[in-house]
Amino acid sequence: MTEYNFENLTYPLDLFDSEEYGGNRLLIYINEVQDTRYVDDTRKYVDPNNVPARDRGRLAESTANRTRIRQSARNLNIGAFLLGGAVAGIPVGQTAVGAYVADKGTEALVNVAPKAEVPVRRLRTAIALHMPNKLNIKYETQWDESNTYLLSALLDANPAINEAVDAALRGKIDDVSTRGQGVSEKGIAGTLKDLANTNIGRGLLSNIALANPIAGDSLSAATRLANNPKKEQIFQGVGFRSFSLEYDFFARSQREANDIKKIIYQLKYHMHPELKANTGDFLWTYPSEFDLEYVQGGGDDTIHRHTSCILVSLDVDYTSDGMFTQLAGGELPKIKIMMEFKELALLDKAKIKERNY
């Protein structure tokens, strides 16, 4: 804590001194990209050895050198172009040209990328706010539904279905004998006829007919029957958590009004990128990243933690009371902001168990 400077970026001013807040506060640490042109003597950084481990995604944390990055990208480019060309029927010569151009682009990109192994540095300047009046987080996993009727049929129905499919995959048709391979000598036609004489077989074959994109709808309308796709929920993954924090800033003094303006400035400045110098404005340098810490005066750790974050949205409302008003010195009596953050790393059981995300 002592290494950070919250001066001029604290709201309310007496946050660290007044018992009213019970020692509860939100601290916002700023991690700035190394490759910035806006550096001056007043900019101070925290010793990297004193910065807690950050969770920001595997590639973002990678310290691979330029040679490894370029070699990996070269292999990816060549493989993608050759494979894509082969699938599309494009001559090898044309795909080789595409791979060469992509490789040269990667070489140029790596040469202008930041040279530092650690691409971001934590500023000593940090923001301290009272605990938000509304503090919640949403945990969410991603699922999608999928049709499973064919596999269900193969698992549940009598062996005739598996025999017919197996024969079809081997190219056995109609009167071609398949004796000794588990299919009756009548071949597929005979096997399907036998299948149609079973309850499950009739249901499966009818389901396939109704699923036909050409005639299925007409058959359904004519028979007043619809296929049951036997849907199941299929796990797709985990999304990046997003969360919003809302604050009403009331300036009780000229100094507090100035600090509010500086807090808003720091947020909007660091959430934006900058144009990379000496590249003809073709490249962006990434915006800063944020780490949030909820400090509970009682010492409890009930509140969740966050992985490193990006600030994706900042909504500043200067007329939250429905009209624009100013104090005698020109200050605005109230400014309302809403910050929307998105986390940089995905959660799993280990992170929740070990780090209380």
The domain ranges of the chain are 10-49+127-140+241-355, 145-236
Residue 148 is predicted with a pLDDT of 84
- pTM: predicted TM-score of the whole model, two decimal places: 0.78
**Sequence-ordered alpha helix ranges (H) in 7-148:** 58-61, 66-88, 92-112
Sequence-ordered list of residues with C-beta below 8 angstroms from that of 350, at least 6 positions apart, any chain: none
236 pLDDT higher than 90: yes
Task: State the pairing for strand pair 334-343/242-250.
Answer: antiparallel
Q: Which one has a higher pLDDT value, 2 or 173?
A: 2
Interior/surface letters 273-304, b for 16+ CB within 10 angstroms, e for the rest = eeebeeeeeeeebbbbbbbbebeeeeeeeeeb
Q: Which residue has the higher pLDDT, 274 or 102?
A: 274
Give the integer Cα–Cα distance in Å for 229 and 342: 37
Distance, in Å, from the CA atom of 165 to the CA atom of 28, rounded to the nearest integer, reads 61
pLDDT at 172 over 60: no
Average pLDDT on 198-202 reads 77
What's the maximum distance between 2 C-alpha atoms anywhere in the chain? 100
| Rounded distance between C-alpha atoms, residue 347 and residue 306, angstroms | 10
HSE (side-chain half, CA atoms, 13 Å) at 45: 13
Higher pLDDT, 39 or 4: 4
The secondary element (H helix, E strand) that includes residue 291 is: strand 289-295
Q: Does the structure show a pLDDT above 80 at 239?
A: yes
Q: How far is residue 52's CA from residue 46's CA, in Å, rounded to a whole number?
A: 11
pLDDT band at residue 221 using 50, 70 and 90 as cut-offs: very high
Is the pLDDT at 37 greater than 90? The verdict is: no
pLDDT digits (tens, 9 = 90+) for 296-339: 988 777 899 999 999 999 999 999 788 888 877 788 889 999 99
Residue 181: predicted pLDDT: 47
Of 268, 275, 274, which is closest to residue 290 (Cα–Cα)?
Answer: 268
Q: Are strands 309-317 and 334-343 parallel, antiparallel or unpaired?
A: antiparallel
pLDDT at 59 over 80: no
99: pLDDT strictly greater than 70 = no
